[in-house]
């Protein structure tokens, strides 16, 4: 099975994030969900992003790096929205990455020096989400897919940013079910390929 480091979005580590992690654990995967906000949670995206700016993006990234330090290098890195930033940095710069899962957000691969050869990825977003569609994320996702050997972009009908968080009013059960199925298929494939490589 696969080991995943999964970073939360701007509201903090919600019950919905924990439920999603538990879904992956139920399929046999190991999931780590570090708290980038050190115990703080927020009611709005603006407040959470404001806190990140107040602390400093360098510190948020450093917290992500510290969360990875005690873990194996053979990880799948995942992030929801704001959490994509440390996840993408680690996926692109920490040796040994097995895969990347980006939800609601994506940065241009050049942000961290280019997408690593052979690193598989999935990006998930809503096709009418103004944040994902109008602020450069979908363009960055398409750029990543074009530059990677094994990457897919999945768009879901809807205009909600946090559509896969079951603890929020923005939750879309049907879209989340499909997203989760795709993620589990990805993790099974990544785990199988890793075992096959280890066996020679």
Which tens digits make up the pLDDT trace of 45-82?
Answer: 999 999 999 999 999 999 999 999 999 999 999 999 99
Q: Determine the Cα–Cα distance for residues 149 and 102; give it in Å rounded to an integer.
A: 16
User: Looking at domain 3-198, which of 3.40.50.1100, 3.40.50.1820, 3.40.50.300, 1.10.3720.10 is its CATH number?
Assistant: 3.40.50.1820
- Spell 34-73 as b/e; 16+ CB within 10 A means b: bebbeeeebeebeebeebbeebeeeebbebbeebbeeeee
Q: pLDDT tens for residues 148-176? A: 999 999 999 999 999 999 999 999 999 99
pLDDT given at position 191: 78
For the chain, what are the domain ranges? Answer: 3-198
User: C-alpha 83: how far from its chain's center?
Assistant: 6
Structure tokens at 198: 């280890």
Rounded distance between C-alpha atoms, residue 144 and residue 64, angstroms: 21
pTM: 0.95
C-alpha 124/C-alpha 106 separation (Å) is 9
């Amino acid at each position: 099975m696969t080991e995943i480091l999964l970073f939360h979005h701007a509201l903090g580590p919600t019950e919905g994030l924990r439920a999603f992690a538990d879904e992956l654990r139920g399929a046999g995967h190991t999931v780590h969900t570090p708290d980038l906000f050190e115990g703080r949670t927020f009611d709005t995206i603006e407040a959470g992003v404001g806190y990140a700016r107040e602390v400093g993006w360098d510190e948020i990234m450093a917290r992500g790096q510290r969360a990875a330090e005690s873990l194996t290098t053979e990880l799948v890195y995942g992030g929801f929205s704001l959490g994509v930033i440390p996840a993408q940095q680690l996926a692109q710069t920490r040796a040994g990455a097995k895969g990347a899962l980006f939800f609601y957000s994506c940065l241009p691969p050049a942000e961290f020096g280019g997408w690593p050869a052979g690193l598989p990825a999935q990006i998930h977003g809503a096709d009418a989400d103004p944040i994902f569609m109008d602020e450069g994320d979908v363009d960055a996702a398409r750029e990543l897919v074009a530059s990677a050997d094994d990457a897919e972009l999945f768009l879901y009908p809807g205009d909600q940013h946090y559509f896969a968080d079951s603890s929020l009013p923005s939750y879309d059960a049907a879209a989340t079910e499909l997203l989760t199925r795709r993620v589990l298929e990805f993790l099974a494939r990544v785990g199988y390929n890793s075992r096959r490589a280890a066996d020679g």
